[in-house]
Each structure stands twice: as C-alpha cells, then as structure tokens.
C-alpha cells in the first residue's frame, strides 16, 4: 500500500508490466483495420464472456488489502489474464476491503465482510481466458469453508 486516502487505506497499483497488443486489429498485409469478433464460442453458443459470481463463507484473511491484492493478481495470472489496473480500498484498520482488477479480458472484483467471514468475488473474463482457472488461487488465499458458485454467460446469443 502506498497511500492513505481520506476515506481509508488505499492500495493503488498501476498497470503491470503485462502488455496487450492492439496489433491484431490491423491486417498486416493491407494495413487496414480488421473488424475482429471478440465474442467467444463454446458448446455451440456464442457469448461475450464468462462471469463467475463466487461467494466465500467461513473465509480467512478478509481484512488485509495487501494479501487480497496479491491473491487477486495471482488469480488473474493463473487464468492467463492481462492486468491493466488495480485498486483496493480498506474501509477501516480492521474493516472490510473492496477491490478490483481491471483486465484486458474484463475484471475481477472482491468485497469482504470480515465480521461474517464472508467475501463476494466476481470474475468476468472474455476471450480465451477461463475464470475457473482463477479459483484455486482464491481458495488458497482465503481458505473458505464453503464456496457458492454462480456461472453466467454474458452477452449470450441464442
């Protein structure tokens, strides 16, 4: 953490050294822009991306913004995602944390209620990243007794 905001402790990490290329949008032969389709196709259906809503109960380490920041970065990287930006807010010295990573493939967010050992996470990934690959890092960091998982396909084309 590198700053104190008037609203609480804030961990603000700039874009990492992972790079995302926009070159794929340009046809190298003609130099013209290619209208790439960023939707994915799976099981015969087309959609924008997979959105996992993950509720953790009986979880640990919910008051530590540094640990939470690190856990979400590990989770993103485990899925092969590209981290563009991170922001983590600590509501009070012993309170909950709200944080988000903006990804080239969408986002991961977390909100913690340490007084209930509860955290709600959402992992939204489009492209070739699979948000399920993020789960082991989150389970390792927070050691939940129960995980409630809800999968949503965003932008589903019937």
Using an 8 Å Cβ cutoff, are 88 and 7 in contact?
A: no
Kindly state whether residue 70 participates in binding a copy of itself, applying the rule CB under 8 A.
no
Tell me phi and psi for residue 118, to 5 degrees: -120, 140
Stretch that binds a copy of itself, among 32-40, 64-72, 73-81, 132-140 (CB under 8 A): 32-40
Catalytic residues: 106, 111, 126
Query: For residue 124, what is the enclosing H or E element?
Result: strand 118-126
Residues 99 and 75: beta-carbon distance below 8 Å: no
Residue 13 engages a copy of itself in binding (rule: CB under 8 A): no
Helix runs in 23-114, H state only: 65-78
- Of the pair 52, 137, the CB lying nearest a copy of itself is at 52
How is residue 75 annotated by DSSP?
A: H
Q: CA angle, corner 133, sides to 153 and 66, nearest 5?
A: 110
Q: Do 126 and 106 contact (CB within 8 A), yes or no?
A: yes
Within 106-135, the residues that bind a copy of itself by CB under 8 A are 106-107, 109, 111, 113, 115-116, 118, 120, 122, 124, 126
**Closer residue to a copy of itself, CB minimum distance, 61 or 120:** 120
Distance (Å, whole) CA 100 – CA 152: 19
Cβ distance 51 to 105 under 8 Å? no
**Of the candidates 9, 40, 49, 131, which one interacts with a copy of itself according to CB under 8 A?**
49
Query: Could you tell me which stretch among 37-45, 63-71, 72-80, 132-140 binds a copy of itself (CB under 8 A)?
Result: 37-45
Contacting residues toward a copy of itself, per CB under 8 A: 5-8, 10, 15, 19-20, 22, 25, 33, 35-39, 48-49, 51, 53, 55, 84-85, 87, 89, 91-92, 94-96, 98-100, 102-104, 106-107, 109, 111, 113, 115-116, 118, 120, 122, 124, 126, 150, 152, 154-155
């Amino acid at each position: 953490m590198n700053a104190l905001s008037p609203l609480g402790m804030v961990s603000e990490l700039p874009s990492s050294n992972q790079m995302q290329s926009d070159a794929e949008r340009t046809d190298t032969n003609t130099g013209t822009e290619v209208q790439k389709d960023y939707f994915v196709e799976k099981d015969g259906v087309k959609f924008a991306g997979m959105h996992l809503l993950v509720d953790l109960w009986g979880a640990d380490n919910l008051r530590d913004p540094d640990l939470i920041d690190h856990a979400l970065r590990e989770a993103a990287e485990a899925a092969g995602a590209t981290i563009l930006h991170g922001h983590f807010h600590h509501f009070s010295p012993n309170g909950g944390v709200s944080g988000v990573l903006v990804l080239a493939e969408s986002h991961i967010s977390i909100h913690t209620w340490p007084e209930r050992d509860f955290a709600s996470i959402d992992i939204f990934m489009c492209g070739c990243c699979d948000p399920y690959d993020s789960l082991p890092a989150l389970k390792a960091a927070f050691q939940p007794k129960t995980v409630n998982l809800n999968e949503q396909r965003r932008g589903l084309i019937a």
